[in-house]
Structure 1
């Protein structure tokens, strides 16, 4: 019987097709969330494949999955468009988080998970206030890990899955609105949250999450007030308003441009971020 793991078979490619697709999806998701692929930008599968060194087939499947997450959508005869960041999107994300995050009151992590939360809270406190890129990236990774531990301990898996998607959108919005004129987005109340979880205090958990959502809302509002992006009717409005016949939340209301490699430049005629 053929054994693909046999040591006598040459290892020309260490990744199987499924692994390639998973790697491509993870890489492109990070690119979208970090605004490496700018909101509103448009690129073909060939351009994305070349830019990130990924196979065309894996890129095609990965983009389809990101489309299902609401992060990108296809534009007829143009390629794939990264979902623009708009005031409406920000408002929808905030409203949805206020509706869904109370489910975290039911989170009951086991002893191992709770111990990890305590470690993460300590490291977040150490990194809070540091503004260099490496420290910010590390701190935010710890914050997200802490929240993921909470979501994994929620009994209602559908709610938890939806919440993870909202956190993904929130991270992308925060990254997009960050400018030198604004201080970095504040750290979550990791220590207090961990203590509330350990005590099984659902009301305290919800209060802390609502407070963090309010902080995010204020940060987003401040960022929008400093944004000089021009609003107008895009050329691709008709195509952007649909996704295989399904209405899009942005309705194609933000103009897109072809993808570029220039960092810090908004894609919709805006100023440098």
Structure 2
């Protein structure tokens, strides 16, 4: 009988197909949220596979899953397009967050979760005063862990899942709008959130989250006002792979080359195409 765990079998590829797919999904999700795959860019499965060192089959499944949560979508005969960041998207995310984050009024984290929130609040306070990129990235990861700890205590799991997705979109928008010369978005009120959760003060938690959403909106508006993208530019045709019957020379991107941005969207260098 075939035993895949036999010590006599080769161990060159210890990951099973499901693990490969999960790894590819996690890797590509990070690439999209961090704008490593620039908003509005288009690339083929082969190009993404080569760029990130992932198997074609795993990439195909991972992209389909990212498409289901609205981060990418397929373009016929061209590849996969990363969801562009637009004013409309930002407005939709803000509107949805105002409605959904009200569910945090009913959260009651357990003792272990509350202790972890206190630890995270201390770390975030230390990192907030440090301006280097590594500290900012680390601070954001701890802020997200704190918020995820709150969402884990939401009884309605469907609502919690939707909330996590909105936070994912918000992170990507921040990465897109933050320029090297701009001030990074301020840290969340971690200490106050931890204290409100410990006191079971759901009203205070929601008030803190609404204040954070307002700050996010103000930051996004300021970022859009710095953007030099021309308004009124006609977007590409729905079939991005054709141009008057001819194949487009700018579709897709191979490793080491700039991924194509759609007209009217901001490039990964912060300049409109």
- Could you state the TM-score of these two structures normalised by the residue count of structure 2? 0.89
1:233 is aligned to: 234
2:246 is aligned to: none
- Give the match's secondary structure for 1:239: coil
Q: Is the 8 A contact 2:72 2:82 kept in 1?
A: yes
Q: In the TM superposition, what is the alpha-carbon distance from 1:131 to its structure 2 partner?
A: 1.6
2:190 is aligned to: 190
1:113 is aligned to: 113
Listed as ranges, the matches of 1:1-273 within 5 Å are 1-231=1-231, 232-236=233-237, 238-239=238-239, 258-259=252-253, 261=256, 268=263, 270=266, 272-273=269-270
Question: Which structure exhibits the higher relative contact order, with contacts defined as CA atoms closer than 8 Å and separated by 6 or more residues?
Answer: 2
- Cα distance in 1 for partners of 2:43, 2:111 equals 46
Q: Is the 8 A contact 2:24 2:62 kept in 1?
A: yes
Q: Is the 8 A contact 1:229 1:268 kept in 2?
A: no
- Cα distance in 2 for partners of 1:227, 1:53 equals 33
Structure 1 unaligned runs (5+)?
241-255
Q: Is the 8 A contact 1:230 1:268 kept in 2?
A: no
* Backbone CA RMSD of aligned residues: 1.9
1:250 is aligned to: none
How many pairs were matched up?
A: 257
Per-residue deviation, residues 172-193 of structure 1 (Å, max 9, x unmatched): 0000000133201100000000
- Cα distance in 1 for partners of 2:259, 2:189 equals 29
1:246 is aligned to: none
- Cα distance in 1 for partners of 2:117, 2:110 equals 11
